[in-house]
Amino acid sequence: MRIAVICCFAWMVINTFMINEYGLNYWITIRMFIVLLFNETIDENPEKLKKAFTKAPLSAQTMERELSLIFSNSLHKPQNHYIFIIK
């Protein structure tokens, strides 16, 4: 159970880093992360590493726009969080 939790946490950390670095255009799937984690032949076959990165679906671009709006509003006007609750 601990290994599963550590693997999931590591997968989330790597995806967070990739989203921060490259935007929501690429991410790594959990299945490919597990393959990369337990595969010792990546150095021999670098094509496996390229296949691990999946092009994000078009719906992720919508999420990127929504996240940028949320972050821009929260950073510059933190009082806006409570306007929707009051209304």
Other C-beta atoms within 10 Å of 14: how many? 14
Alpha carbon separation from 21 to 8, 41, 51, 58, 87 (Å, rounded): 20, 26, 19, 18, 36
Q: So where are the chain's domains?
A: 1-56, 57-87
- pLDDT for position 84: 47
Whole-model pTM: value is 0.35
- Give residue for tokens 């929707």: 84
Q: How far apart are CA 75 and CA 17, in angstroms?
A: 20
pLDDT at 46 over 50: yes
Bridge partners (DSSP) of residue 28 are 53
Q: Using one digit for the tens of pLDDT, what is the confidence trace for 51-82?
A: 655 555 555 555 555 556 555 554 444 454 44
Q: How far apart are CA 39 and CA 36, in angstroms?
A: 5
